[in-house]
Chains A and B, each alone.
Chain A
């Protein structure tokens, strides 16, 4: 089944509408055990969607300039200031050591760093045509 862009956009728009003025992005270690940083989201959190894609509004940086020291490996999007109000939990492509041998990212955060959610796009795939 393939979806037309208008339908994809409608579906995508249902996803972030719960994220209002009190919503947050939180940055965690691999086990969601340590909250390294917290950043408020814009209201609304996402810009107007098009072609099945919703983009996070980062016109005002979504960032924490006073993080805890730690490693960042996961993000959660939260409905409000309550830690149990997660709407989405997202994995980062982090591999700071081990395999592969070439390390491409350092996810260790110092207290003097700024942690920023620079972009986030949620896409409803177009799908594939049914077989005749």
Chain B
């Protein structure tokens, strides 16, 4: 017999309950508007010369806060 599920604590005043699905939908709809405040991006762009040698490595630093999609 499994242990009884503990009662769900009340949501503190001023906060709103949201499901993972709702949050996912919000991120998709709002894109960078939400993502800027929530997400981190890291990465590298590499430029190779005609012989395949690495010419430059450019770090990805952020989502663009100024561009509207």
Question: Which residues of A are interface residues toward B (Cβ below 8 A)?
Answer: 7, 10-11, 13-15, 18, 27, 32, 56, 72, 74-75, 86-94, 105-107, 109-110, 112-125
Chain B residue nearest in CB terms to A117: B45
Is there a chain A Cβ closer than 8 Å to B60's Cβ? Answer: yes
Q: Is the CB of B39 within 8 A of A124?
A: yes
Q: Complex formed: what's the CA distance from A58 to B50 in Å?
A: 20
Q: How many residues of B contact A (CB 8 A)?
A: 35
Chain B residue nearest in CB terms to A125: B40
Could you tell me the dominant secondary structure of chain A's interface residues? strand
Q: Is the CB of A119 within 8 A of B49?
A: no
Q: Is the CB of B20 within 8 A of A91?
A: no
Interface residues of B in 37-69 (CB under 8 A from A): 38-50, 52, 55-64, 67, 69
Q: Complex formed: what's the CA distance from A75 to B45 in Å?
A: 9
Identify which of A88, A117, A118, A121 contacts B31 (C-beta below 8 A).
A88
15 of the cross-chain contacts (CB-CB < 8 Å) are A11-B23, A15-B39, A72-B45, A89-B63, A90-B63, A91-B62, A94-B58, A113-B50, A114-B48, A117-B43, A120-B42, A120-B60, A122-B40, A123-B41, A123-B42
Question: Considering residues A7, A105, A109, which has the most beta carbons from chain B within 10 angstroms of its beta carbon?
Answer: A105
A67 → chain B closest CB, angstroms: 9
Q: What chain B residues lie within 8 Å of A122 (beta carbons)?
A: 39-41
